[in-house]
Amino acid sequence: MEAMERDRSRPASRAARRGAPSRRRGGNLGRALALLATVALLATVALVAGCTPTAPFPTGSPGSSVASGPPPTGSVSAAPSPTPRPPIGGTELYGFLPYWLMTDTTAAYLAGVPLTTLGLFSVSVSTDGTLRTDQPGYRRILGDRGRTIIAAAHRAGMRVELVFTSFGAGPNRKFLLDTDARAAAIAALVGLVRTLGLDGVDVDAELVRGDDVDGYTELVGDLGAALHALSPRRTISVATAGGHIGASLAHAAQVAEVDRIFLMGYDYHWSGSQPGASAPLGRYDDGHDLRWSIDEYVRLGVPRSRILLGLPLYGMSWPVVGVGYGMPSTGPGATWTPASHASLLASAGFAPEYDPVEVAESFVQPDGGGWRATYYDTPRTLRAKLALARVTGLAGAGFWAIGYERGIPGYLELMRDFRDGRIGAADVVEPAPVPEPTDVAVPTDTPGPSTPSASGG
């Protein structure tokens, strides 16, 4: 979410009520040994990432959950090992609802959204662990509108989690390494869960330095224990990014025995990158994609039964040099949501271009004296990505953010198909091979302001 309202999607799981992984508390010695393994793993990953040609990632994108900095030290006590793949994955469906999309009509809309878990985004704390009651997320969730939404979600059979956010390398270091601050935050969060009648907490900590990971692990482990002490049905989940370091942070979270890990499978292209799909199945370059991220999580020993594949209900739009797929950008991109462009999507003659490599759709439009290219996921392209979650044996999937799809045909039907098990191996799409480069003519004349082009070229 750029700044606070960045373009991202988040997790949560309702099947944590039924069939959630059992929590195994191995004592302080076991946790200490596991922490040493995680810290050493982060050091190894940092070295690998330093010599691997990957695109830089911004906050909330793959690779950003851990900030750069001196590599941590430690010794490996037990190497992570991949978990077996079941014949087919689960159909849990987590949806993040950010405070700026909590409107007077949200509660009624949720009655038709087939989620298992709703994550209310978000509340945060100061570095001393005290709740930031001045922030709009806190006020919206604790106010009448938030309470109405919680009641409506429960009536619809959803679990509801409170999303706790902690952003920034500096603030995270100060907070995570302060035992008293962590304890204060845990007490405050458990108090909110009790007051609002919620089912758990999702922790979204971004830009965590490698040598601060022990504080992160203690935070989520102790918060999970406190929630389970409140009620065995309460759950703890985390959201982690899709790159090397995000996978390592997910490994740390599973050491702390969290119930679900939301793999944020988006922002592989972002506002500061060249144009492309936010959640690609394939790549035109050597960057990461969704399958790579799943494989990396599994390789580091994150159980498939705890992973939810997060997918975007938004797109990105960039100014580009001309008409044609893959034109380079001339400036930063901006978040684009289907719900904000309903009239365009329904207009006669609108025909986005399907990309068989990244498995996304795009279109180019006149933009003042230049051109603007938009890349986004449709129900067609998301179906293939939900199928990937199922055939790789994950617990389910999720979206950032509920409301970005509102009023657009096909998205809710897609969610129902996933929840009902109607998406599976038959829906898997293998990315097409990258075609040989060809010369593309770039228009030299600038488009007129009324040119009605919405074609991808």
pLDDT digit string, tens, across residues 101-153: 999 999 999 999 999 999 999 999 999 999 999 999 999 999 999 999 999 99
**Which pair of tokens denotes residue 418?**
């996933």
d(CA 217, CA 222): 8
Q: Please report the pLDDT score of residue 438 as a whole number.
A: 62
Q: Please report the pLDDT score of residue 180 as a whole number.
A: 98
Strands 334-336 and 370-376: unpaired
Q: Please report the pLDDT score of residue 92 as a whole number.
A: 98
User: For every one of its 457 residues, what pLDDT tens digit does the chain have, with 9 covering 90 and above?
Assistant: 333 333 333 333 322 322 333 333 333 434 444 444 444 444 444 333 333 322 322 333 343 443 433 333 332 234 677 888 999 999 999 999 999 999 999 999 999 999 999 999 999 999 999 999 999 999 999 999 999 999 999 999 999 999 999 999 999 999 999 999 999 999 999 999 999 999 999 999 999 999 999 999 999 999 999 999 999 999 999 999 999 989 999 999 999 999 999 999 999 999 999 999 999 999 999 999 999 999 999 999 999 999 999 999 999 999 999 998 889 999 999 999 999 999 999 999 999 999 999 999 999 999 999 999 999 999 999 999 999 999 999 999 999 999 999 999 999 999 999 999 999 999 999 999 998 876 544 444 444 433 333 333 2
Q: Tens of pLDDT along 344-393?
A: 999 999 999 999 999 999 999 999 999 999 999 999 999 999 999 999 99
Do residues 2 and 267 make contact, with C-beta atoms less than 8 angstroms apart?
A: no
Strands 315-320 and 334-336: antiparallel
d(CA 213, CA 42): 9
**Which pair of tokens denotes residue 401?**
């953010």
Residue 8 φ/ψ region, left for φ over 0, alpha for ψ in the -120 to 50 degree band, beta for the rest? beta
- CA torsion 85→88→89→92, rounded to 10°? -160
Whose CA is closest to 398, among 150, 116, 201?
Answer: 116
CATH number listed for the domain at residues 62-68+79-314+378-427: 3.20.20.80
Residue 302 φ/ψ region, left for φ over 0, alpha for ψ in the -120 to 50 degree band, beta for the rest? beta
Taking the complete model, does pTM exceed 0.75, yes or no?
Answer: yes
| Domain limits, the chain | 62-68+79-314+378-427
Do residues 9 and 264 make contact, with C-beta atoms less than 8 angstroms apart?
A: yes
Q: How many CB atoms neighbour CB 437 within 10 A?
A: 8
d(CA 188, CA 339): 35
Q: How many CB atoms neighbour CB 290 within 10 A?
A: 29
Q: Please report the pLDDT score of residue 436 as a whole number.
A: 82
